[in-house]
Amino acid sequence: MTNEHAMWLPDEVSRAVRGRSIAVIGDGMLLDTVRAEAERAGMTTARPGDRADLTIVPAAQAGTAWEEPLDLDGLGPEGFVHTQRDGRAVVVYGGASGALYGWFDHLRRSLHESGDGTDRCEPRHPLRMLDHWDNVSIHPVMGQVERGYAGGSIFYEDGRVRADLSRVARYARLLASVGINRVAINNVNVGRREALLLTEDLGEVVRIADLFRPWGIRTHLAVSFAAPLTIGGLDTADPLDEDVASWWEDAATAVYARIPDFGGFLVKADSEGQPGPYAYGRDHADGANMLARALAPHGGLVHWRAFVYNHRQDWRDRSTDRARAAFDTFAPLDGRFDDNVVLQVKFGPVDFQTREPVSPVIPAMAHTKVALELQVTQEYTGQQRHAVYLAPQWREVLDFAPFGPDAAPLSDIVQGGMAAVSNVGDDAFWTGHPLAQANLYAYGRLTWDPALDPRAILDEWIALTFGDDEAARRGIRSILDDSWRTYESYTAPLGVGFMVSPLRGHYGPDVDGYEYSPWGTYHFADRDGVGVDRTVATGTGYAGQYPEPWARTYESLETVPDELVLFFHHVPYGHRLHSGATVIQHIYDTHFAGVERVDEMAATWDDLRGHVPDDVHDRVRERFVEQRRSAREWRDQINTYFFRKSGVTDERGREIY
């Protein structure tokens, strides 16, 4: 593709090490990748016996490259130790993947004077996955990429795998640079055409896997639970049927014969029309374990999504609560899943909202491998038309301590790693909005180390992407640093969620768009108040799904955090928040303030003309035109709706329609 943006690996990054010497000790595909990267960067190969500026060496031979002892005990296959003194650096790796990650770590350090010292680096999560919701054929409703905001698929074109997959190879390099090691290449809503990737089109999957492999990335497929029935010629997909189990065993064997490092299956079952074990009177442990046993002899995993709920809900029934569904479904099954099943749980109980509480399913599954699922693509956060940096939100989720402030954070509890919905497409800027690249970068970095500061990650991404221009660094950081909270301020208030347009694919405001629908995403606004009563005492009981102290915290209006008050309680418009403002005045104030902040962000970007590439500046400026328009639409619809519902005027006398 012409004029394709390099994201965070432009030539300037390689120039930081150009002309220096390197010695790469070891053999194998990933070590060859490191050598090719060094050659690409313009490094020279050290001669035998010479001391290189950078030596990459296995732990067993560390003493040959560095005289002083290093802490290498238990260094895992993806881990490395980076040590540097007097301009000379050594990367000691535990396995070939560690050599690759150590190389990219050294590149990041080379952009600035990192100083002498030694750092041991190992990923916190062994499974660091991206899910692509890409369709082989263009779906009449979901398009080429479901929830895709950056053009078509990088994998598929004209109803088949692309003939030219060179962009996939470049994508694999970018993912490896931030530590992603697994990719699912098709939509979890598996259509009949996409189901054939497992069988008739397996040779095309081999081509994609061959491009990911040199970068330490394993390929996964989303599969349809009903595949034995729809493409396998059987008359059932019952997970306890022996013929069904045999069909999946044969399918798995065929895949591993062609792709020995195949990662496994990703499954969405019994959710939003996707088939599952409920059709046969079975539960989700029955379904997941059947697939897991087909994969187990080959070392494969089943990522089984916990996104299961009734999407044909009666809005008149206030006792039904979509937020309860995943816990009610999966908590009774804890301990019944096989070891190679990973239960993939959305970070919140509803659907990737700008603000919602952390899902209680995660702490409830003490005897199950759980993966935290995030959404890098901005379905409910501006769809890559708005500049919204999501790492601060993710860091809050990762820091949440389900069993109390002195207990382990969520990042230590999710033993199945992390997964997220990807945000790239065939757009020249990969993510549509150039600043949305920061979210993909930050996701990778947080999967490796969830304790990283989102601001530090942002500064790192800016330096890698735009160089050392101080005006660019200050300006972009000013725009993105608090952009998630800015977006929250002018959209759905105080954790109530949704209020988005169903007719525009969840983009833009429609306060009652889902209010009388079967989807279970309600706000229950009336003349007296707003919010969903999820208390145990008088509501749906959802608050009681949490362990203490959170069950007690969320149950009470005295202790529930302001930002979640409408998620857990139906309150009068005059209810006074901990901030001191009433609910209705908070709605007015934040929506006016949000628009003002977007205007400031757009003006800051205008001032960066000449400090960033012209094509980047033009695209982002175009997106800010839309963000400013949309923010005003959100402000005016939300404020007008609640003014007309409540009859309470803005105490500051601003215009509300």
Q: Which strand (E) or helix (H) includes residue 288?
A: helix 284-295
Start-to-end Cα distance in the chain: 47
Which residues, including other chains, have CB under 8 Å from residue 318's CB and lie 6 or more apart?
A: 524, 533, 540
379 is catalytic: yes
Report yes or no: 439 and 448 within 8 Å, Cβ to Cβ: no
The whole-angstrom separation of Cα 496 and Cα 474 is 33
Dihedral sign for Cα atoms in the order 460, 461, 466, 469 = negative
The whole-angstrom separation of Cα 573 and Cα 531 is 10
- Which amino acid belongs to residue 226? A
Name the active-site residue from 272, 339, 615, 651.
Answer: 272
Question: In degrees, to the nearest 5, what angle opens at C-alpha 567 toward C-alphas 563 and 572?
Answer: 85
Q: Which strand (E) or helix (H) includes residue 358?
A: none
481 is catalytic: no
For the chain, how many residues are written? 657
Q: Which strand (E) or helix (H) includes residue 62?
A: none
Determine the 3-state secondary structure of 601 from DSSP. Answer: helix
Give the CA distances from residue 648 to residues 225, 494, 498, 557, 573, in Å, rounded to whole numbers and listed in that order.
Answer: 52, 18, 23, 22, 8
Report yes or no: 244 and 231 within 8 Å, Cβ to Cβ: no
Q: What are phi and psi of 25, to 5 degrees?
A: -100, 125
Question: Can you list the pairs that 17-20 forms with residues at least 24 positions away whose Cβ atoms lie under 8 Å?
Answer: 17/41, 17/42, 17/43, 17/53, 17/54, 17/106, 17/107, 17/110, 18/42, 18/43, 19/43, 19/44, 20/44, 20/53, 20/54
460 is catalytic: no
Which pair of structure tokens corresponds to residue 442? 């930050």
Q: What are phi and psi of 432, to 5 degrees?
A: 80, -70
Reduced to 3 DSSP states, what percent helix, strand and coil does the chain have, rounded to the nearest 5? 40, 15, 45
Question: In degrees, to the nearest 5, what angle opens at C-alpha 488 toward C-alphas 486 and 489?
Answer: 65
Q: Check whether the bond before 549 is cis (ω within 30° of 0).
A: yes
State how far Cα 143 lies from the chain centre.
20
Which residue, among 260, 266, 399, 400, has the nearest Cα to 342 in the 3D structure? 266
- Which amino acid belongs to residue 607? D
Which pair of structure tokens corresponds to residue 104? 């990219």
The whole-angstrom separation of Cα 66 and Cα 505 is 56
Burial class of residue 356, CB neighbours in 10 A (0-12, 13-18, 19+) = buried
Report yes or no: 134 and 144 within 8 Å, Cβ to Cβ: yes
Name the active-site residue from 146, 194, 238, 351.
Answer: 351
The whole-angstrom separation of Cα 87 and Cα 325 is 56
Name the active-site residue from 105, 134, 194, 379.
Answer: 379
The whole-angstrom separation of Cα 273 and Cα 225 is 12
The whole-angstrom separation of Cα 36 and Cα 30 is 10
How is residue 649 annotated by DSSP? P
Report yes or no: 507 and 365 within 8 Å, Cβ to Cβ: no
Catalytic residue positions, numbered: 272, 351, 379
